[in-house]
Amino acid sequence: MTGDTQDEPIQAQHSTTEDDKVAGILLQQEADLAGHDEARVLVALRQRFADGGHEVSEEALREHARRIAGLESNDFSKE
């Protein structure tokens, strides 16, 4: 099959906005860290956003950490 090759990374094939990427990270962190200690959530958020090259204000990070820590634990976040 000619022309059916993947010539670039999957991520480069789909345009995703910065807001979508940040929202995706937050959703994942909610699933992973719901109900955990706020300080632990804050550290994890800082690391994830830094790893992805996303700039998020300290105030927004703290608000998200507080919200995620206040969520009810689920099967994933209990581990």
For helices 18-33 and 38-51, give the axis angle rounded to 10 degrees. 150
Cα torsion for 7, 13, 18, 20, to the nearest 10°?
A: -130
E strand or H helix that includes residue 33: helix 18-33
Residue tagged 């300290």 (tokens):
58
pLDDT in tens, 35-56: 999 999 999 999 999 999 999 9
Q: 28: Cβ–Cβ under 8 A, 6 or more apart, which residues?
A: 48
Segments in the chain below pLDDT 70? 1-3, 5-14, 75-79
Tell me what pLDDT residue 15 has.
73
